[in-house]
Every structure is written in C-alpha cells, then in structure tokens.
Amino acid sequence: MNDSTTREERFAHGMEVLDKVDGEAGRRVLDALADINPELGHQVVAWAFGEIYDRPGLAPRDRQLVTLGMLTALGGCEAQLDVHVNAALNVGLTPEQIVEALTHSAVYCGMPRALNATLAAKKVFAERRLLPLGG
C-alpha cells in the first residue's frame, strides 16, 4: 500500500483481508454500523485490516493469539471475542490451542476474565459443532 491509492482502494483491499480473517462475523459488524457510523466501519476495514492486519511481519494465527490475549484482558468484549474466536479458527488455530490460551490467561488476568472468555469461546464452538472438545 505504499504507492498512490484512493480511499476506496484502501477500503477494497481491507475488505479482502477482513473476509479472510473474520469471515461473515466481520461483515455483520459493518452492517450494524451502516446507519449510525459508517466511518467507523470504514476505519475498521481500511485501517485495521487493510493496513495493520495486512503487514507481513506476524502470521495471521499469531495475530489472533495476541488478539485473544487482549480481548480477554480488556473485559467486556464478549462480542469481539465471538468474532475473534471465529477468526482464530479461520486462520488455523485449533480449538484446543484457543482453550489453552484462555487457561494461560488466568495467570495474568485472573479467573473472572479467563472464565468469561472461555464461555464466549464455548458459544462459538457450540455454533460450529466443535463440542465437546476431545469428544
């Protein structure tokens, strides 16, 4: 994206990255913003995905590990955990690795944050018929 681009091209490029990582869940966020704050939707796509996610220095699965850690620590991000547990599966993390990352989070964020994130992941795993783990 170093050469000359228009705002529309930056958005279009971000949408390609978003679709690969977040899939339908990402599209639903944009739809929800359409009648109140389409600019915020534009920035999620063109900036967060088109510029940051697209950078080559960290693998997509690695980005989701960092993201799961952040969303768990922030708290109150159940909607975003829904999107990003899906994203984590989309880019190749296994359900077992996601669960292990959340177990690990108890050390740094404490049990309440680890439990809340685990129950957010459980909802996604149930929708994708991945439960019970190890079953």
By the rule CB under 8 A, 115 interacts with a copy of itself: yes
Rounded Cα gap, residues 27 and 45, in angstroms: 10
Instruction: Compute the half-sphere exposure of residue 37: CA atoms within 13 Å on the CB side of its CA.
Output: 5
Smallest Cα–Cα separation from 80: which of 112, 44, 104, 47? 44
Among the listed residues 112, 127, 128, 129, the single contact to a copy of itself using CB under 8 A: 112
Among 12, 15, 73, 91, binds a copy of itself (CB under 8 A): 73
The CA–CA distances, whole Å, from 120 to 104, 108, 134 equal 16, 18, 19
Question: Interface residues for a copy of itself in 77-96 (CB under 8 A)?
Answer: 77, 79-80, 96
Cβ at position 91, least distance to a copy of itself in Å = 13
11 binds a copy of itself (CB under 8 A): no
Should residue 121 be labelled a site residue for a copy of itself when binding is judged by CB under 8 A? yes
CA 91 – CA 61 distance, rounded (Å): 6
Q: Is the Cβ of residue 16 or residue 108 nearer to a copy of itself in the bound state?
A: 108
Give the residue, chosen from 70, 92, 127, 128, that forms a contact with a copy of itself under the rule CB under 8 A: 70
Place of tokens 């009648």: 35
Residue 40 CB-half CA count within 13 A? 10
Q: Which of 14, 67, 86, 87 binds a copy of itself (CB under 8 A)?
A: 67
Residues 22-41 interacting with a copy of itself (rule: CB under 8 A): 29, 32-37, 39-40
